[in-house]
Amino acid sequence: MKVLGIETSCDETAAAVVESNGRRGLKLLSNVVASSMDMHKVYGGIVPEIAARSHIESINPVIKQALAEAGCGWPDVDGIAVTHGPGLGGSLLVGVLSARTLAIIHKKPLYAINHVQAHVYASFITSASDKLAKDYKFQNEVPAFPLLALVVSGGHTQLVLFESHFDYRVLGKTADDAVGEAFDKVAKMLGLPYPGGPSVEKLAKKGGSRKFVFPKARSRSQGMHTDATQGLGRYDFSYSGLKTAVLRAAQQAIGENHNFPSHKLARKLTEKQKADIAAEFSRVAMETLVDKTMLAYEEFLPKSVVVAGGVSASPELRRQINGRLPIDAFFPDAKLCTDNGAMIAALGYYQGKYSSPTDAKKLDIQPNLSM
Ligand code: KG4
Ligand code: ZN
């Protein structure tokens, strides 16, 4: 069974084809991503109108290329999977309308995919066609259930416990900013390019952690709490306090008070100060993720742990998780951590196997969809 996955929830127009690989999960046949990132970089973040327009320009060529690289024609495709939420309304609309049209014209079953859940399914891809194999690194087996997933991206930070593919519960999520979003905002303060994750981490290597002191958000069950963390559950996250601590520390470091505008900080901070801030911020942000993952691991003793989403590409997060978990965690290949069509196709494959398709005449976008 071959599934075409289509993803347009944010700034990546992506399409991919996966096929079943028996008990060993899924095989990647193609993975095409066209990003409008360069256009957004100028503004330091995603501009929804630019993203939507560039999806319209890219969607047809990207789908065509994904089918061609997989060596497939429409008769070979057994189903179409498309992200219908969460994401930017205008962006989602392009993918959903394209997928609905293609499903109707070519008479294919259509699967409506939750983007956040799909990030976890990048780890169910365990091999690739000969053509792609040299460009990707896979774990050989699929993750076993019960499965604990840490989903960390620009829009989401959550811990989810899966008993099986479609029987899961969200243990905790962020009360405010997503971890990737916090990286993006701190990058902006330090005058670093968007996306913030890779640029903050690169600078952090030149700095010493502990030169600045930033607090970790504590949940109620851990005792201490600040205004920002009031009411945080045991597995919830909060990044607004850390982001404000970074702002205050940077203002103090240049001898200014809390009224000093954040967009002028980068010009006054020395390279050394920036690197030290990046290092401590990165350490605390990642340690918070790992602390909660460990807490959940010890309580639920899952058979596997999957780390997914854009931030799971971080070498620092991988190092910390591998250093503390007693089992090997699943991390997708870096190219499958950020948004892509392969993870959408992968979840679509399991939806096709275990549930019925959606109505191609009716599928609507759900920008605020949650797991
Ligand atoms: O999953 P993704 O592509 O999009 C969303 O669904 O949000 O994640 C994008 C986020 C950005 O915030 C970016 O800063 C972060 O992932 N990111 C990283 C790394 N690569 C991307 N964060 C830390 N380290 C990285 N290497
Ligand atoms: Zn994503």
* Ligand 2 centroid to residue 258 C-alpha, Å: 33
Ligand 2 centre from 154 Cα, in Å? 7
* Nearest Cα to Cα of residue 28 among 10, 14, 40, 42: 14
- The letter for the amino acid at 277 is I
What pLDDT sits at residue 219? 65
How far apart are alpha carbons 329 and 321 in whole angstroms? 7
311 lines ligand 1 (CB under 6 A): yes
Diameter over CA atoms, the chain = 67
Ramachandran region, residue 210 (left: φ > 0; alpha: ψ -120 to 50; beta: rest): left
Per-residue pLDDT at 45: 77
In the reported structure, the alpha carbon of residue 195 is separated from the centroid of ligand 1 by a whole-number distance in angstroms of 7
How are strands ordered across the β-sheet holding 147-152? 167-173, 157-164, 147-152, 304-308
Span 281-303, pLDDT tens digits? 999 999 999 999 999 999 999 99
Q: Which of 116, 338, 369, 371 to mutate to test the pocket of ligand 1 (most atoms within 8 A of CB)?
A: 338
115 CA from centroid of ligand 1 (Å): 14
And the tokens for 57? 């320009």
For the CA of 156, the closest atom of ligand 1 is 7
- Give the closest residue to 371 by CA, choosing from 56, 101, 149, 222: 149
- Alpha-carbon gap, residue 105 to 358, rounded angstroms: 15
Cα gap 166→168, rounded to integer Å: 6
Cα–Cα distance for residue pair 350/262, rounded to 1 Å:
46
Question: In the prediction, which pLDDT does 9 show?
Answer: 97
Residue 210's pLDDT is 83
Distance 222 CA to ligand 2 centre (A): 30
Q: Which ligand is nearest to the CA of 118?
A: 2
Whole-number pLDDT of residue 226: 47
pLDDT tens for each residue of the chain, 371 residues long: 999 999 999 999 999 999 998 888 999 999 999 987 788 777 777 888 888 999 999 999 999 999 999 999 999 999 999 999 999 999 999 999 999 999 999 999 999 999 999 999 999 999 999 999 999 999 989 999 999 999 999 999 999 999 999 999 999 999 999 999 999 999 999 999 988 999 999 999 999 878 898 988 776 555 444 444 556 899 999 999 999 999 999 999 999 999 999 999 999 999 999 999 999 999 999 999 999 999 999 999 999 999 999 999 999 999 999 999 999 999 999 999 999 999 999 999 999 999 999 999 999 999 999 99
Question: CB of 150 within 8 A of CB of 180?
Answer: no
Between CA 277 and CA 284 the distance in angstroms is 11
C-beta 338 within 6 A of ligand 1: yes
Q: What's the confidence (pLDDT) of residue 223?
A: 47
Among 33, 157, 177, 183, the mutation site with the greatest number of ligand 1 atoms within 8 A of its Cβ is: 183
**Tell me, what's the pLDDT at 41?**
78
